[in-house]
Structure 1
Amino acid sequence: MASSDSDADADDRRPHALDTFTRRGVTMMFGPKVLTHPILLAIDQGTTSTRVIKYELLGFHYKERDGERKDLRPIQSAQHPHKQIHPKPGWVEHDPEEIIENIKKCYREVGGAFTMAVGITNQRETIVAWDSETMKPLHNAIVWCDARTAEIVSRFSEKEKHMVFQKTGMPISTYFSATKMRWLLENSKDVQKAAARGTLRFGTMDSWIVTKLGARRDSNNQELPNVHVTDVTNASRYLLMNIETLEWDDDLLNLFGIKKEWLPRIVSSAERVSGWAGNPSVTKDKEKIELEVYGILGDQHASALGHRLREGDSKNTYGTGCFAMRNTGKTITRSKRGILTTVCWKLGKDEEAEYALEGAVAVGGECIRWLRDEMELVSDANEVEECAKTVTDTGGVTFVPAFGGLFAPHWRDDSRGVIVGLTRYAKKAHICRAALEAIAYQSMEVLEAMELDCEENSKSKKRKKTSSSDGDAKLLSVDGGASVNDTLMQIQADVLGKSVRRPANIETTAYGAALAAAIGAYKRGVYSWYGNSKEPMTVRDVLGEDNQNANDGSKLFESKSTKEERAKGRSRWEDALQRTYGLDTYCDKEQSYNM
């Protein structure tokens, strides 16, 4: 961290920029609207775009007002896409500087100055390498779904794989950050030179954002060193953190050949990790953006917090990929079915970590984009749903979009996509519906594997089954861009044989990041600067029993399928799945190249 604990405490006693501003009157910035609620920002840095959403904190006012429930209300947002770079088949990269510029654009468009706290949520596993002196990236970011490290993955023995799984809860895969760092060290001359100079820094997108945009002033307005941190949820995806100690593990570092000084310091998901931004009205550089960061969560963990998942609850996010997560509380449940054991969150440096089971599907909404952009079957994503609704089934067509391999629960790097069951009768509508079914069946596999793992964990500990945390959950909460597709949600309910609940506000990822920032600000005493006697946003306000229906206006999709129909569909899916194995032999091989 940029400052010592004593410096941080001193910072928390100073007047805040927003406090100074509100005393002068807010109408100069917000026109006729007088600000009565604290303002928070959520930066949602995703795989295809970056968003910034401004929230006001309800139930807490600069002036006392009773009867308002504690929650966050979105009031403004901005979004900018970034380029997807594909140097070779199976390779995916992003320009780290483009992403920073997009954050700045969004920040200015929503009027981000004078916010009380900032929460960051980000695409996980995607790795950035930069030089700590120049603050410039040494290579494009290697994205989580990139498959170039398959050869590196194949080097490890079964004993080494077992050790990694026991310490991290995850298998060695192209998915995670450590193999991407290893590839950069072996293939990028710029990374090698920075390592030799001692200026190499690695980090996921949260680390990169905080390093580039985190506030760097102490209580005396003096500039501090750059901050190099990541939170426990992002750190749990490196394959380098021990999920029991929540620290970088020496055995893992040695195995992958990564030095600890190249890595960010691990912090909790809800605490201040930056310095003080100062008052923008008196800052010399009016264009400079300095974020006061109080919360960081990987995207799926932020989504889980946005759904306010308690122990035993499950959610699924339908984005570029699909990500199912089940909160297992303070219990580390190790999977026997290819499901990941991960940190759910740690809401404060003095709080206990909560854990989760997670199943990641590499290709979710991405297969819809593939139908549009590569196959040109449709002109826009909405047309897929319209086509799918014109038929009652797929006509026997099954689509497995294993473009770069399969993630949970199979973990097959040698798989490639297939469309099977084609007949002269098959038409565009059948393929569109098969694409939606592919998303639902992949999600089904990971959700069912989680339930079985929880059931076995309960039996092994001889616990009396008292809640859904020990087995079957009857309701699935959903979010993500593709969740607006009613046909997909109904197919998901039918495939699972369970109800699917979609909240009115599906932006749960950004919402969760803002909640983490609100909790982090409370823990640092920020609210006391405003002289309000009310208790501010706490962990209980977010996860207490009275707050489980925070998103009013949700839509419920009830299953309409029979047990026989589900069994027949599963058999057809599993048959197609088997046909994907080993097809990498016939696809272009990734070759090493030097930059």
Structure 2
Amino acid sequence: MRVAAIDQGTTSTRCLLVEDGGEARTVAAIRHTQFHPAPAWVEHDPEELLGNIRTVLKRASPVDAIAIANQGESCLAWDGVTGEALSRVIVWQDARTADVLAELDAGAQRRSRAVSGLPLDPYFSASKLAWLVRNLPAVRSALAAGRLRLGTTDAFFLDRLCGTFSTDVATASRTGLLDLDRQIWSAEMCALHGVPIECLPPIAPVDAGSGTIDGIPVKVSIVDQQAALYGHGCRRPGDCKITFGTGAFLLAVAGNERPLAGGGLLPTVAWQRREERTVFAIEGGVYDAGAAVEWARTIGLFSSVEELDSFDGCSALSRGLAFVPALSGLAAPHWDRLAAPVFIGMDHATNSRDMVRTVLEGIAMLTVGLIEAAADVIEAASGISIDGGLSQSAYFVQFLASASERPIVVPAMHELTALGLAELCGADTTSARAAITTYLPDGSVTSEDRERFARAVDLARNWRGDRRKPFLQGVVAH
């Protein structure tokens, strides 16, 4: 079987050709424009994304099946008759709805947690979709005419490419509008946010099939992080992976029952295949991982990725230098959109190498917070499998192993989202994960280092204002 595995991500659209046996090669990758029309706003052009999918798919031909991974929480509005996009894509990083969510009371927060499993955070799709309905005349006109469609990017892609208006359960679980227990759209959550439930797509299993593109069946559509979880070979409760892309995302398999929320991590759907029970997971993220590294490159702290692989001497953190990578705020387990980045501990001898090293260490330390929070909820496997750009930095991975006090496993084949998509289509790619490198804790990160970083996080918290502090604290408390 030859599968065109399309990863439509935050910064680019990639297509890998995956064959039985696990052989995978990138056939195309196209970056797309990031729009920042206002502070905290992040948008994409849906037509550009759609065109890029078509382009990369042509370069993979011939194939037997197509699978598409989506960005998760990114969403938009379009005309159900013409297919015309009525808005840009509001990206998962976008925080424009923070003020609106801050006006909701603690009771709404509790109900959101109870029904959808998710906090009232602008990260998720619900408030973004409601913003489109409230603020865009074209969206309101389409709603009045009975032509409006709302959804995450997968539903738009499938509608335009295949004529199938649908989403899968895992993607729906990222919206804040899903009844997580019943796995149907929640009328209560739609009413809370102001999202017309009749405009949302039908929900289907991940491998339900979504029609064809030029005669080739689209067999699978799912969130990129859930595809990566499957691609890591995580099947048993406690199996855990972390993907280091634009953000860092931890998912751990929880089994066939909805997991209890705890430690600031969230219950979510991992996948649901036809005629099989739903598999749940717990998840948490760091908003800025690769994004923080790219920021450091942009401001001149380094120029090539090779510079991230090794550093001389002891860690920057052990020398009192810390960085909290909260450019977009702090995600799990803090859930603080008012947090801001903090560099602290510099002196006259501090140079750019020290600072870029501190960026890597800060990403690792926030990730350790996710690992520790996950361990409070489920009994995690001893080793944690990672992928993504930062998994290629030996220094970063060794520091993460030492800071987390856990073995960190790096598969030689690091395109795990593509492997997961292909496996969900039915391809056999297990041999691709056979070659791994394991990094073991070496005791180089001390309790004093952890305490020093915790103090830095405290300084970053709520830096952008006190007005919403009680609300955001309530997110964690409930």
Quick check: TM above 0.5? yes
Task: Give the 3-state SS of the residue equivalent to 2:221 in structure 1.
Answer: strand
**What's the CA shift for 1:176?**
0.1
Task: Give the 3-state SS of the residue equivalent to 1:227 in structure 2.
Answer: coil
Identity score, percent = 33
Picking from 233, 236, 243, the partner of 2:180 is: 243
Q: Distance in 1 between matches of 2:215 and 2:454?
A: 51
Name the structure 2 match of 1:209: 157
Name the structure 1 match of 2:323: 399
Q: Distance in 2 between matches of 1:393 and 1:488?
A: 11
Instruction: Say whether 1:556 aligns with 2:464.
Output: no
Runs of 4+ more than 4 Å apart: none
Picking from 306, 309, 314, the partner of 2:234 is: 309
Instruction: Say whether 1:74 aligns with 2:24.
Output: yes
Q: Distance in 2 between matches of 1:362 and 1:82?
A: 20
Instruction: Say whether 1:362 aligns with 2:287.
Output: yes
Task: Give the 3-state SS of the residue equivalent to 1:78 in structure 2.
Answer: strand
Name the structure 2 match of 1:40: 3
1:128–1:140 CA contact under 8 A, matched in 2 = yes
**What's the CA shift for 1:354?**
0.6
1:372–1:381 CA contact under 8 A, matched in 2 = no
Task: Give the 3-state SS of the residue equivalent to 1:568 in structure 2.
Answer: helix
Instruction: Say whether 1:162 aligns with 2:110.
Output: yes
Instruction: Say whether 1:120 aligns with 2:68.
Output: yes
Name the structure 2 match of 1:90: 40
Name the structure 2 match of 1:412: 336
Q: Distance in 1 between matches of 2:259 and 2:465?
A: 35
Q: Distance in 2 between matches of 1:80 and 1:296?
A: 20
Name the structure 1 match of 2:353: 429
Q: Distance in 2 between matches of 1:582 and 1:432?
A: 24
Instruction: Say whether 1:273 aligns with 2:153.
Output: no
Q: Distance in 2 between matches of 1:341 and 1:368?
A: 28
Offset from partner CA, 1:14-47 (integer Å, 9 cap, x none): xxxxxxxxxxxxxxxxxxxxxxxx3221111000
Q: 1:139 to 1:381 in 2, by over 3 A?
A: farther
Q: Distance in 2 between matches of 1:390 and 1:82?
A: 36
Offset from partner CA, 1:65-119 (integer Å, 9 cap, x none): xxxxxx43225521111011111222111111111111121112222x4x32211
- What's the RMSD between the two structures over aligned residues? 1.8
Which residue identity is paired with 2:440? E
Q: Distance in 1 between matches of 2:119 and 2:230?
A: 25
Q: How many residues align?
A: 464
2:262–2:376 CA contact under 8 A, matched in 1 = no
1:56–1:75 CA contact under 8 A, matched in 2 = no
Matched ranges for 1:193-592 at <5 A: 193-214=141-162, 226-274=163-211, 276=212, 289=214, 291-310=216-235, 311-348=237-274, 350-373=275-298, 375-383=299-307, 385=308, 389-394=311-316, 395-454=319-378, 471-518=379-426, 550-561=432-443, 565-585=445-465
**What's the CA shift for 1:196?**
1.5
Q: Distance in 1 between matches of 2:33 and 2:258?
A: 38
2:412–2:433 CA contact under 8 A, matched in 1 = yes
Q: Distance in 2 between matches of 1:139 and 1:131?
A: 10
Which residue identity is paired with 1:306? G
1:501–1:554 CA contact under 8 A, matched in 2 = yes
Task: Give the 3-state SS of the residue equivalent to 1:119 in structure 2.
Answer: strand
Which residue identity is paired with 2:156? W
Which residue identity is paired with 1:100? L
Task: Give the 3-state SS of the residue equivalent to 1:166 in structure 2.
Answer: helix
Name the structure 1 match of 2:133: 185
Q: Distance in 1 between matches of 2:311 and 2:221?
A: 40
1:269–1:297 CA contact under 8 A, matched in 2 = yes
Offset from partner CA, 1:115-153 (integer Å, 9 cap, x none): 322111111100021111221211110000111111111
2:75–2:128 CA contact under 8 A, matched in 1 = yes
Task: Give the 3-state SS of the residue equivalent to 2:401 in structure 1.
Answer: helix
1:232–1:346 CA contact under 8 A, matched in 2 = yes
1:293–1:517 CA contact under 8 A, matched in 2 = no
Which residue identity is paired with 1:341? P
Q: Distance in 2 between matches of 1:95 and 1:566?
A: 46
Which residue identity is paired with 1:397? L
**What's the CA shift for 1:550?**
5.0
Task: Give the 3-state SS of the residue equivalent to 1:40 in structure 2.
Answer: strand
1:391–1:429 CA contact under 8 A, matched in 2 = no
Q: Distance in 2 between matches of 1:170 and 1:290?
A: 38
Gaps (5+ residues) in structure 1?
1-37, 58-70, 215-225, 278-288, 455-470, 519-536, 587-595
Gaps (5+ residues) in structure 2?
467-478
Offset from partner CA, 1:454-474 (integer Å, 9 cap, x none): 2xxxxxxxxxxxxxxxx2432
Task: Give the 3-state SS of the residue equivalent to 1:320 in structure 2.
Answer: coil
Name the structure 1 match of 2:476: none
Name the structure 2 match of 1:53: 16
Q: Distance in 1 between matches of 2:184 and 2:446?
A: 43
* TM-score (norm. length: structure 2): 0.93
Q: 1:75 to 1:378 in 2, by over 3 A?
A: closer
Which residue identity is paired with 1:390? D
Q: Distance in 2 between matches of 1:365 and 1:207?
A: 27
Q: 1:87 to 1:484 in 2, by over 3 A?
A: same
Q: Distance in 2 between matches of 1:271 and 1:480?
A: 28
**What's the CA shift for 1:442?**
1.1
1:296–1:516 CA contact under 8 A, matched in 2 = no
Offset from partner CA, 1:478-509 (integer Å, 9 cap, x none): 01122111111111101111111110111001
Q: 1:441 to 1:78 in 2, by over 3 A?
A: same
Task: Give the 3-state SS of the residue equivalent to 2:461 in structure 1.
Answer: coil
2:133–2:195 CA contact under 8 A, matched in 1 = no
Task: Give the 3-state SS of the residue equivalent to 1:212 in structure 2.
Answer: helix
Q: Distance in 1 between matches of 2:172 and 2:279?
A: 14
Task: Give the 3-state SS of the residue equivalent to 1:292 in structure 2.
Answer: strand
Which residue identity is paired with 2:300? E
Offset from partner CA, 1:256-302 (integer Å, 9 cap, x none): 1112221111011112121x55xxxxxxxxxxx46521112201110
2:4–2:16 CA contact under 8 A, matched in 1 = yes
Offset from partner CA, 1:422-474 (integer Å, 9 cap, x none): 111211111111111111111110111111112xxxxxxxxxxxxxxxx2432
Q: Distance in 2 between matches of 1:291 and 1:415?
A: 46
Name the structure 1 match of 2:472: none
Q: Distance in 2 between matches of 1:79 and 1:290?
A: 23
